[in-house]
Amino acid sequence: MAGERWVSEVNAGWGLTIKVRRQLCDIQTPFQHLEIFETVNLGRLLMLDGIVQLTSFDEFAYHEMMANVPFYACSHVPERALVIGGGDGGVLRELGRHRELKSLEICEIDASVIEASRKFLPETACGYDDPRVKIHVGDGSAFIKAHPDTYDLIIVDSTDPGGPGEPLFGEPFYRDMKAALRPGGVIATQAESYYLLPEIAARVVRFAKNIFQYSGFAQINVPTYPTGLIGCCVGSDGGDVREPREVPDPELQKVLHYYSPEIHRGAFLLPRFASQLFEGEGK
């Protein structure tokens, strides 16, 4: 319709399109093209290099799962967490609900993502208001190498491969993450969609299987990512990552809209074709 504005994420011949009211931010950072929109029906929208990172409408689903699946997959109560990427602060916000965590660090390569999110996405970036949060601006793959035996949780909330997140999709990075974990620690990484990018999803599952004793691909329903789902690849040597250590306390349950112990277990149950895709991988 004349006068209407729609923005699209285009993937190999098809796209996901969102109607927007106005653009709030449009900058070329040293790393990527950063845009934030006010949409008509989905709240705010963050895009990096034309790829949807979050909308206010459904970001809770992705962020709750990326934070809570590794938190409860850890066989001991975790104390030290690191987020790599995740500059919008959503994973930090969800981790911050856990008083047991003594330290919450983030290593984001692009300071502009942090600044723009704090300015235009306050409901997500409120994760930064937690006094436990320590911000490192830099390359996550170099940071992890410099911190052996340090973290109970490492959560990689990356963009797609091809941009600044490329090194985060390589096997050396997975080995470095393992070295950066304390005994029994857990990693969780953005593992793409088995419909959209099956070779990437299978690749990271292979790394996790080869490197950790326990691993799995947890699916998350996120309507504004192409195909409506995205994966979280989880790995640990501490115990079965598919079985949550405990149930969230009643106060926490009141603010969780997606995660539950049942969803934790169920997220690892995959359609037959996806199980078969991953079965051939690793070891």
User: Does the active-site annotation cover 157?
Assistant: yes
Residue 108 near residue 116, CB atoms below 8 Å: no
Segment interacting with ligand SPM, rule: CB under 6 A, options 47-55, 101-109, 179-187, 262-270:
47-55
Task: Please tell me the total number of residues recorded for the chain in this structure.
Answer: 283
Residue 23 near residue 37, CB atoms below 8 Å: yes
One-letter amino acid at 38 equals E
Q: How many CA atoms lie within 13 A of 21 on its CB side?
A: 8
Please report whether residue 141 would count as binding ligand SPM according to CB under 6 A.
no
In the complex, least distance from residue 74 CB atom to ligand SPM, rounded to whole angstroms: 21
Segment interacting with ligand SPM, rule: CB under 6 A, options 34-42, 93-101, 155-163, 273-281:
155-163
Q: Is 110 strand, coil or helix? A: coil
Which tokens go with 171? 């096997």
Please report whether residue 202 would count as binding ligand SPM according to CB under 6 A.
no
Please report whether residue 226 would count as binding ligand SPM according to CB under 6 A.
yes
In the complex, least distance from residue 227 CB atom to ligand SPM, rounded to whole angstroms: 8
Interface with ligand SPM (CB under 6 A), residue from 190, 219, 224, 236: 190
Segment interacting with ligand SPM, rule: CB under 6 A, options 30-38, 48-56, 142-150, 245-253:
48-56
Interface with ligand SPM (CB under 6 A), residue from 35, 58, 94, 157: 157
Please report whether residue 90 would count as binding ligand SPM according to CB under 6 A.
yes
Count of chain residues binding ligand SPM (CB under 6 A) = 16
Q: 268 to each of 45, 64, 175, 207, 242, how far by Cα in Å?
A: 28, 15, 23, 17, 7
Q: Choose among 9, 18, 46, 28: nearest CA to 120.
A: 46
> How far apart, in whole angstroms, are the C-alpha atoms of residue 196 and residue 68?
24
> How far apart, in whole angstroms, are the C-alpha atoms of residue 183 and residue 137?
26
Please report whether residue 55 would count as binding ligand SPM according to CB under 6 A.
no
Please report whether residue 225 would count as binding ligand SPM according to CB under 6 A.
yes
Nearer CB in complex with ligand SPM: 257/265: 257
The catalytically annotated residue of 58, 88, 157, 160 is 157
Please report whether residue 244 would count as binding ligand SPM according to CB under 6 A.
no
Please report whether residue 96 would count as binding ligand SPM according to CB under 6 A.
no
Nearer CB in complex with ligand SPM: 165/238: 165
Q: 245 to each of 34, 124, 143, 214, 260, how far by Cα in Å?
A: 38, 27, 29, 14, 12
Please report whether residue 108 would count as binding ligand SPM according to CB under 6 A.
no
Angle at which helix 272-279 crosses helix 198-211, to 10 degrees, equals 50
Helix (H) or strand (E) holding 41: none
Which residues are CB-contacts of 69 (< 8 A; sequence separation ≥ 6)?
188, 218, 232, 234, 241, 259, 264, 267
Residues marked as catalytic: 157
- Interface residues with ligand SPM (CB under 6 A)? 11, 51, 53-54, 86, 88, 90, 157, 159-160, 190, 193, 196, 225-226, 230
